[in-house]
Amino acid sequence: MTTRLNPQTTPRHELRAKKARRNREAALAAFTGKKAEIDEMLARLQTLSDDHFGFDP
C-alpha cells in the first residue's frame, strides 16, 4: 500500500521527489519488460540462424 502525502502539509520538494521516484520505478519496469521481449526475439532469431533459416547451406 502506498501512502499519499498531503500537499497542504508536505513541502513541495518531497512531493516532487516522491513523483520522480514513482516515475523512475515505472520507467525501469517498462524497460525490463521491453528488454525481455527483445531477448526473446534475439533467441528466436539465433535459433533460426543456427538452422540456416530453414534452408540447406
pLDDT at residue 2 tops 70: no
Residue-averaged pLDDT of the chain:
89
Tell me if the pTM is above 0.75. no
- Give the pLDDT band of residue 36 (cuts 50, 70, 90): very high
Cα–Cα distances in angstroms (integers) from residue 28 to residues 11, 22, 34, 55, 57, in the given order: 26, 10, 10, 40, 42
Residue, of 17 and 39, whose pLDDT is higher? 39
33-38-41 Cα angle (round to 5): 130
Q: What is the pLDDT of residues 8-26, one digit of tens each?
A: 666 888 889 999 999 999 9
As a whole number, mean pLDDT of residues 23-47 equals 98
